[in-house]
Structure 1
């Protein structure tokens, strides 16, 4: 093997990772938030507390969707995406949530208002159902997801960013410095009848810290299996 080929192979191997998970899926905590909302920083801090938990990824998966419907009130959230506003509206249309607001929590596909009970913010208990292995393989910006169960399933892949800071100059949070974790930077979806999916991230991995994936039945919001981890 010549030196150039050896370098190329080494580079390919170093850019690859494998994550696997089997047994009960992790509990997924989704937060709809905005830098333009004065009630959101406490919810953002609540989500950030999971960053150093031993249960992260295997037992719990936090995700922060920054919505854009606050942007016209004096401050444009640089992390906001219209598709996350649409996702929240979809949850409302399917009666997963009672209204559209921030901060809004959805835990395992159901609205969770426990955050607003400052005396008891325990997450909902749930019945643990084991599922087959879900494996995610990364080679550079290419991601292959494989579920050890045959049938029609939808797959969702979300790329997260941690430890991002913003100095807010206008709007309800004017003058505040905000820290954000588990920011949903990209969200990809696909359907498969053989338990295999291929995804390509079109943006740079430089600002991506973690990746999350799950599978559901078509038309369902219940995660059958999850897998997640940090990107090296």
Structure 2
């Protein structure tokens, strides 16, 4: 099925320099060690208001479960955009924040349009989200970096209030970072979501979604540090009605201002928080 296209409201031919500041982080590792690096981050941009997105949601759900038996681990995140809400169905997980994130990739990848479903791999390559072969190829060919060695104690997953989750993390990026810096981002995602779609292009369908990003916060910005230096931080996630820790997880990723990824990790939430 063809992807749904949406204008990104940029002048034709106005391309961003995708190679700018790509040296923000480097690994003190050999090429072979890099090849055996950590997870590949896969981001799906999707919408319940797009007729072709449910097929892509199924693909990334299978990817996250390990159905494709890839040689490398993956961290999967699904960002639901809001620009299809006008079609008659307001995506309950859609956000203008995720639309802005997708626009940033449109610029950094030198594209002329936004579309759903779109998958971005390691911030460096993209494909149509329901094209399994293209997705597997993009993951297999993606640059890999050591997984950050962050740890989170059970006590650090705590409800600072009934409607807020506090997560404290400490570890090393395992990447040497120069003066351009990188951002350490933390996403709170939810799986096992099921909705009856009552209107729009998916009217009458039961929609299932996994790895849906509900909140995204910056842990810290890091500049001029060695690969082994310890980094610490705390993020606070406002929680939503019906929050269920058993369905949620936390993903940490390192990204520079050119949107390139330099490592990722994921953690499951304790069931009893």
Q: 1:216 aligns with which of 239, 251, 255?
A: 255
> Could you state the TM-score of these two structures normalised by the residue count of structure 2?
0.67
Residue 75 of structure 2: aligned partner: 61
Q: In structure 1, how many angstroms separate the alpha carbons of the residues matched to 2:208 and 2:148?
A: 36
1:100 matched to 2:114? The reply is yes
Q: Cα–Cα, structure 1 residues 116 and 183, in superposed 2: closer, same or farther, change >3 Å?
A: closer
Query: Is the aligned partner of 1:185 residue 2:214?
Result: yes
Q: Distance in 1 between matches of 2:109 and 2:126?
A: 13
Q: Does 181-190 or 200-209 show the bigger shift?
A: 200-209
Equivalent in the alignment of 1:174: 203
Q: Distance in 2 between matches of 1:118 and 1:201?
A: 33
User: Which of 136, 154, 168 is the matching residue for 1:144?
Assistant: 168
- Over the residues paired in the alignment, what is the CA RMSD in angstroms? 2.8
Q: Deviation per CA, 1:114-152, whole angstroms, max 9, x where unpaired?
A: 655466652322344436523344331222233425754
Quick check: 35-44 or 192-201, which moved more? 192-201
Separation in structure 2 between the aligned mates of residue 104 and residue 120 of structure 1, nearest angstrom: 11
Choose the corresponding residue for 1:195, options 217, 227, 231: 231
User: In the superposition, relative to structure 1, how do residues 70 and 50 fare at CA in structure 2: closer, same or farther (>3 Å)?
Assistant: same
Taking the aligned partners of 1:224 and 1:34, their CA distance within structure 2 comes to: 27
Distance in 1, Cα, partners of 2:125 & 2:143: 17
Structure 1 range deviating more: 129-138 or 35-44: 129-138
**Does the Cα contact within 8 Å between 1:96 and 1:109 map onto a contact in 2?**
no
Aligned equivalents of 2:128, 2:90: Cα separation in 1: 28
Q: In the TM superposition, what whole-angstrom CA distance separates every residue of 1:34-73 from its partner, at most 9, and x where no partner exists?
A: 01100111100001113432889x8101111010000011
Q: Within 1, Cα distance between the matches of 2:63 and 2:251?
A: 15
Structure 1 CA distance for aligned equivalents of residues 151 and 215 of structure 2: 19
- Return the alpha-carbon distance in structure 1 between the equivalents of residues 182 and 132 of structure 2: 38
Partners of 2:258 and 2:132 in 1: CA distance: 31
Distance 1:223 1:145, change over 3 A: farther
Unaligned runs of 5+ in 2: 1-35, 159-164, 224-229
State the SS of the aligned residue for 2:244.
helix
Structure 1 alignment gaps of length 5 or more: 1-22
What is the count of residue pairs matched by the alignment? 209
- Paired residues for 1:42-53 under 5 Å: 42-53=55-66
